[in-house]
Amino acid sequence: MSSLEALQLARQRGLDLVEIAANAQPPVCKIIDFGKWKYEQAKHEKEKHKTKASKVKEVKLRVGIDPHDYKIKLTRAEDFLMHNDKLRVVLQFKGRQMAHPEIGMQIMHRVIEDLKGSGHPDMMPRQSGKMITMAMSPHPAHQRLRKFRAQDAVVDMSQHADEDDDDHDDDDDDDREEERSGTAAVDAAQAPGGLNHTPAKASPPPAEKPVTKVKVFDIEALDADKSLSARPASPRAHH
């Protein structure tokens, strides 16, 4: 069928002639209601976007986190929320930090404030043992606002694929570093001149052995005396 005949047929039916394969030989066209088709395509894309499975990403923090590290962590968290992923924030205590849990709560509320443009908390910060956890969900796409990047920034999310593994590696490195530091501190304290150095007690000098006096006899002299005493006396001459 020629294009002219197809166009006349579409007009007779009150529909549109739409080209769907321009590079084919001959080109392929379809007689449809173009407005209805466009509406159905938009509806399909919207439903596809809604049914997209969101992932739960995790970001870990420390009580004594450096300001630069905090900014890096929050930038990642913002990227997750802007990518329509849910977020789990974990703050860990170590050692004597457990004596001041209020510091950890202050950090978590600061996270909520810094990420309020891209997400909202589903579960407020809650302490359990040596950690505080919190869950966040992204705002609707048209309401999300960035704080740590430009609003129209394009982020390659593959760079965050190993976020959890990186956190564990960092934690292990911190633990090993603290263990080495603790061992070095103990060695330094136990070294001579250290705070905990205990000088070794000097051992008492060995007791002197009693000297036994031995009388040494001259064997040859004794033999000579014996021979003289055993010799008979010479008779006196009688005159």
Q: What is the CATH number of the domain that holds 157?
A: 3.30.110.10
Note whether residue 214 is domain-resident: no
CATH code of residue 40: 3.10.20.80
Sign of the torsion angle spanned by Cα atoms 107, 113, 115, 119:
positive
Note whether residue 233 is domain-resident: no
pLDDT at position 140 is 92
Is residue 67 located within the same domain as residue 18?
no
pLDDT at position 233 is 53
The low-confidence residues of the chain, meaning pLDDT below 70, are 48-54, 159-239
Torsions phi, psi of 192, nearest 5? -55, 130
Q: Which domain holds residue 142?
A: 56-165
Is residue 160 located within the same domain as residue 64?
yes
pLDDT at position 239 is 47
The model's pTM is: 0.49
Is residue 61 located within the same domain as residue 45?
no
Q: Give me the helices (H) in the chain, please.
A: 3-13, 34-50, 67-82, 101-114, 163-190, 219-230
Is residue 46 located within the same domain as residue 86?
no
Which SS3 state, helix, strand or coil, does residue 87 take?
Answer: strand
Is residue 73 located within the same domain as residue 158?
yes
pLDDT at position 85 is 92
Note whether residue 238 is domain-resident: no
pLDDT at position 132 is 95
Is residue 76 located within the same domain as residue 119?
yes
